[in-house]
């Protein structure tokens, strides 16, 4: 009966073979991963590229039977035509959107911080039940409450075509309360008890300790709220019918971009207006995405 003798040289060769095999597997895994990411990025980028390309094409190029993936003569005048469209008053739409977004964000931050602090730190009877009921409302689609909200805001309170109707219904967000509560729950209880021993009140403790520690999550909530206000369409379209009260998405949808020569829809001008609406939000997401991710990941460490 023979037995295989394992020598230091064979062990070394086996170790090298294992290292080589692991390296090959790692390379294959990276190739598959990055190939998948490139394909997904392609599907995400192509619509934006096509939108920008159409905004620079002439009407003749758009009517051609075969569409090209580039244009030799960019028509930057399409952006001027978009800004000069009567219904698409870009300056007014931008002002309305920023005004509503800023005020609704400030109101949402106030309610979110106070509610999250109460659920995370203050012990009162029924707090867990109340928070569970709050969380249960997240399972109800917002569209189901549109009719009742519209009747309350427009028919009962007479807030139609006012900034109040665009701001007040959205100053409370259960999701943001949950997000910030999770961050507050991570702050050690010892800090709170030490502050109470020193005679610090709850409100002062919230301002001086909890808010600075939870600032990444608060910044995330601020960015998400502003982006939500920018993208809001259904509700503003219901309660703001006047041209001077429309937000930027409603102004884009309600404007008639027509070719003065043919009277047909000027898709290049329409796409130019779409670029003007999309680019600011896209830039905000690109440059502030790390704050969004850091705030969300910080809130998800523990419950």
Tell me the pLDDT tens digit for each residue of 215-270: 888 998 999 999 999 999 989 999 988 888 999 998 898 888 887 777 788 899 99
What pLDDT is recorded for position 303?
Answer: 40
- For 84, other C-beta atoms within 10 Å of its C-beta total 11
Quote the mean pLDDT of the chain.
87
Measure the CA dihedral 217/218/222/228, to 10°.
50
Is the confidence at residue 121, as pLDDT, over 60?
Answer: yes
What pLDDT is recorded for position 5?
Answer: 53
Rounded mean pLDDT of 186-192? Answer: 86
CB contact at 8 A, 254 and 277: no
What the block records as the tokens of 158 is 């007479």
pLDDT digits (tens, 9 = 90+) for 62-119: 888 888 888 888 999 999 999 988 889 999 999 999 999 999 999 999 999 999 999 9
Is the confidence at residue 29, as pLDDT, over 90?
Answer: yes
pLDDT digits (tens, 9 = 90+) for 152-182: 999 899 999 999 999 999 899 999 999 999 8
Is the confidence at residue 7, as pLDDT, over 70?
Answer: no
Distance CA 123, CA 188 (A): 15
CB contact at 8 A, 242 and 216: no
pLDDT digits (tens, 9 = 90+) for 197-220: 888 888 899 998 899 999 888 998
Range name among 4-18, 143-157, 220-234 with the lowest pLDDT average: 4-18
Distance CA 129, CA 220 (A): 27
What pLDDT is recorded for position 296?
Answer: 63
- For 225, other C-beta atoms within 10 Å of its C-beta total 23
Give the predicted TM-score (pTM) of the model: 0.82
Distances (CA, A) of 90 to 10, 97, 105, 163, 266: 75, 10, 22, 18, 17
């Amino acid at each position: 009966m023979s037995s295989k003798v394992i020598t230091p040289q064979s062990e070394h060769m086996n170790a090298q073979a294992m290292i080589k095999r692991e390296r090959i597997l790692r390379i294959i895994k990276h190739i598959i991963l990055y190939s998948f990411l490139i394909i997904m990025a392609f599907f995400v980028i192509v619509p934006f590229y096509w939108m920008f390309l159409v905004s620079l094409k002439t009407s003749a190029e758009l009517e051609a039977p075969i569409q090209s993936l580039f244009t030799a003569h960019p028509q930057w005048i399409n952006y001027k035509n978009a800004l000069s469209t009567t219904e698409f008053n870009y300056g007014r739409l931008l002002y309305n959107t920023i005004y509503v977004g800023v005020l609704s964000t400030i109101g949402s931050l106030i309610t979110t911080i106070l509610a999250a602090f109460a659920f995370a730190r203050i012990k009162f009877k029924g707090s867990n039940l109340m928070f569970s009921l709050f969380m249960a409302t997240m399972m109800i689609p917002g569209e189901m409450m549109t009719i009742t909200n519209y009747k309350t805001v427009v028919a009962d309170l007479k807030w139609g075509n006012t900034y109040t109707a665009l701001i007040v219904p959205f100053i409370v967000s259960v999701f943001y309360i949950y997000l910030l509560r999770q961050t507050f729950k991570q702050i050690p209880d010892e800090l709170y008890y030490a502050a109470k021993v020193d005679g610090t009140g709850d409100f002062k403790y919230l301002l001086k300790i909890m808010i600075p520690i939870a600032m990444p999550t608060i910044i995330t909530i601020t960015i998400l709220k502003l982006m939500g206000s920018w993208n809001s369409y259904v509700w503003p379209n219901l309660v703001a019918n006047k041209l001077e009260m429309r937000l930027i998405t409603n102004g884009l949808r309600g404007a008639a971009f027509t070719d003065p020569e043919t009277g047909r829809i000027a898709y290049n001008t329409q796409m130019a207006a779409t670029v003007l609406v999309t680019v600011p939000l896209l830039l905000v997401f690109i440059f502030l995405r790390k704050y969004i991710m850091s705030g969300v990941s910080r809130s998800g460490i523990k419950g």
